[in-house]
Amino acid sequence: MRTCGILMPVSSLDGPFGAGTLGREAYAFVDFLSRAGQGVWQILPLGPTGSGDSPYQSCSAFAGNPWLIDPELLVQEGLLEEADLDPVRAPNTGRADYRLLERTRLPLLRRAYENFLAARPLPGCDTPYSDEYYRFLFLNQDWLEEYALYRAAQKENDAKPWNEWPLPLRLRQPQALEELKERQAGEIGFWKFVEYLFWKQWKALRDYAASKGVRILGDMPIYVSMDSADTWAGGPLFQTDGQGHPTRVAGCPPDYFSEDGQFWGNPLYDWDYHRSTGYDWWIRRIRHALDLYDLVRIDHFRAFDTYWSIPADAATAREGRWEQGPGMDFFEVLGKKLGPLPLVAEDLGEMFDSVRRLLAQTGLPGMKVLQFAFSSGPTNEYLPHNHIPNCLVYTGTHDNNTLLGWMEQEAGEEELRFAMHYLRPGKREELPQAILRAALASCADTCILPLADWLGLGCEGRINTPGVVGGNWNWRVRPGRLEDSLACLIRVQCELYGRCERQADLSSSPD
């Protein structure tokens, strides 16, 4: 069935708290999607953001981002007073204010935790904890215990990376861990509480989206950050020297985005060890992701075939080499353990024939990005006439400029001439809308378009520029932009190309 959706990070929503949250603006966006005939909301990873405020450099592959917890919902629950929110409010300037969040959000959540602990016990109970809270702790204990312990140790060690902690703690010696648990029992409890709040608010939002016919397409980064609970607790899962230092790290070779390639710095997996465990950690990770989302996009899919391996001390990613990933064995084991998987393969970047074969073997839908379509003539796989139904088509992803920004700042003259000849818009300034319509017209089963392209924004609407440090991940939609007129325009366009149920009279639709 043909469907359509919008790419919009939760942090990019409107709202009064420095960045988007899981509160009323998120519900309003679901309503907007429903009015616009959209069946999918694609988001970015929901984990705690890391270096450069990136959601792809998280300190946990399982945890939720405390910045996304909505303070107003905590007031409704009685965990905060309305006056508590005054220090954390800020006008939406069109950019997320992560420094405000760093200063104010955790103190606010600590106050909520104090109030949570001070609440009267429930009838017949000796603690204020509800059955729902205990159930959350029980169902998530396989990662939550280590994550809370990691956070407590991080606080005790002045936020230093775990491989700079005292040796007994770095090497997870049993006595050091037990002593940490005793010293930091309160801090450990706090981080479990934070994750409970995130889960509770996210579950309510996802249930609301489902009631409106909107599925959530989540994003699962293939790698984890070196400074993370996963690497601290994971040990042999990663290519390290046994002392907490990576030996080889992730990235990608020189490409469209960077002449020197991209040096991501994430520790690489020891795939032989993962295979020996039946991919247990991955099975738990994907099962957890499917508890959060309806569909899951696996970032950097090609690394399951071959991945770029860079010496940890290399100057640039150019010093890397291709190494073999787990291949089809990984997906066969997943299928046996978890059944049919609603996964999407991010199959962008340098594509070897072996990567294409792996994608075909898995049967997963890949991605077609129209900004890449106009550079190499009619055989370009991203051109609409070369699409297949089993794929998702985009004008651009979170790593691309907006259509207008691409046209004005990045596309070469030859690309633009080809695009004009291929799409035949009346004027060059109409090319972004022509590309948007070409995405909707594609035979791809699913079309996902960034909100910034529907809004007609230029480079100010870009989410991330790969290879550039600073200034990323902070775009936000300004107040008042999600109007009914825009929802109507989107719906009419999507109806025209058979991507949502018909409600409008197309004969009187706007051009």
- Which of 346, 347, 415, 495 is labelled catalytic? 346
pLDDT digit string, tens, across residues 392-415: 999 999 999 999 999 999 999 999
Residue 455 in contact with residue 1, Cβ under 8 Å?
A: no
Return the pLDDT at 166: 96
What pTM, to 2 d.p., does this model score?
0.95
Distance from C-alpha of 369 to C-alpha of 378, rounded to nearest angstrom: 15
Instruction: Tell whether the model's pLDDT for residue 72 goes beyond 70.
Output: yes
Distance from C-alpha of 377 to C-alpha of 114, rounded to nearest angstrom: 63
Q: What is the mean pLDDT of the chain?
A: 94
What are the structure tokens assigned to 138, written together? 């029980």
262-267 sheet: strands from edge to edge: 262-267, 248-252, 306-311, 321-324
Domain extents for the chain? 238-365
Residue 2 in contact with residue 499, Cβ under 8 Å?
A: yes
Task: Describe the crossing of helices 98-118 and 185-211 by its angle, rounded to 10 degrees.
Answer: 100
Let me know if 346 is a catalytic residue. Answer: yes
Residue 30 in contact with residue 41, Cβ under 8 Å?
A: yes
Tokens 């007031």: give the residue.
75
Let me know if 399 is a catalytic residue. Answer: yes
Distance from C-alpha of 144 to C-alpha of 155, rounded to nearest angstrom: 17
Return the pLDDT at 502: 87
What are the structure tokens assigned to 412, written together? 């070469």
Which stretches within 167-227 are classed as H helix? 167-170, 174-183, 185-211
Instruction: Tell whether the model's pLDDT for residue 510 goes beyond 60.
Output: no
Residue 116 in contact with residue 193, Cβ under 8 Å?
A: yes
Distance from C-alpha of 382 to C-alpha of 368, rounded to nearest angstrom: 5
What are the structure tokens assigned to 117, written together? 């602990």
- Assign 124 a pLDDT band (cuts: 50, 70, 90): low
Query: Residues of the chain with pLDDT > 70: what percent?
Result: 96
| Region 68-95 average pLDDT | 96
Return the pLDDT at 179: 97
Q: Which amino acid is at 177?
A: L
- Which of 399, 415, 453, 495 is labelled catalytic? 399
Let me know if 299 is a catalytic residue. Answer: yes
Instruction: Tell whether the model's pLDDT for residue 504 goes beyond 80.
Output: no
- Which of 25, 146, 219, 299 is labelled catalytic? 299
Instruction: Tell whether the model's pLDDT for residue 128 goes beyond 80.
Output: no
Return the pLDDT at 388: 98
